[in-house]
Structure 1
Amino acid sequence: MGKRLLLIVLIVFAGCKGTSQEEKKETAKETTFKVSKTDAEWRAELTDMEYYVLRKAATENAFSSELLDNREKGTYVCAGCGTPVFKSDHKFKSGTGWPSFDREIEGNVAFDVDYKIGVARTEEHCAVCGGHLGHVFNDGPSNTTGKRHCINGAALDFIPDGN
């Protein structure tokens, strides 16, 4: 009986140390952006919400962005550095509560993978300053790209055509 109990304890103990429970630590990539500022500089220049979204990869509340229902023609730029990232021609109503676009302005948006919610998601950020914009999903309009760039309105400023 004692040997059986010892065997069970050893099996349970060995099962608790599985590698699936270990946090995967990737080596930090040193990325240098054209626009690079200290945390204090970003805090001084951005609103609280812009700072938390762009610099801390937060997500604004759904349906809270004043840009959600904007139908004007123009360009959406990164609120951190002014880089054009989306055109109004590619904006569509997704019903998700965040401004959505079926494509980015190529070369101005960079992509990475994040696992913050336990599954892989494609994160997008400004290619010039590294500011977090949102995520891209494969459930966009099938008649165009099939992509849905789900973007925090706080990460964007809007510049109407002609300005």
Structure 2
Amino acid sequence: MALINRWVNEGLRWRVFDAKGEVLGRLASRISVVLQGKDKPTYSPNRDDGDVCVVVNARHIALTGNKLTDKVYYWHTGYIGHLKERTVKEQMARKPEEVIRKAVLRMLPRNRLTDVWDRVRKLRIFPDEAHTFGDKPLEPYVMPPRKVREVRPRERRAALRAQGKPAKK
């Protein structure tokens, strides 16, 4: 008798991430936290309690620096001398959802919970606004604001001196 692993989605939330204008790494780290269930108070490292993540607008993701032309994905076909490579720009033209999928899956830990591929099945990526989960109770995920470090007083005084303004005391 064959064992059938079923994906139980009772108690799971369906989270929608809008990738339009979001930086790839920051978005991928937020998605990986939700996939692992680390945002829940009932998190346990030996259980897979992560929510289902639906990512829309994958075509409109933002990359910082020169990553669009400098970041390269490599893979090998198995034949001698067949090391293949593709830049992010070429990958975005072919299949933009693979860029987000690779970024998220490479942020997940490599352990026994990854082997069952449930986390991979809980990640659904669509290149545009349209998706196939209209009948599910979707919750939009709001990215929390970034915590930007304040400028230290000494650095602030040095910046004001460089501009020629008197410093407040």
TM-score range, shorter chain: under 0.3
* TM-score of the two chains, using structure 2 as the length reference: 0.22
Higher helix share: 2
TM-score normalised according to structure 1 size: 0.22
Higher RCO (CA 8 Å, separation ≥ 6 residues): 2
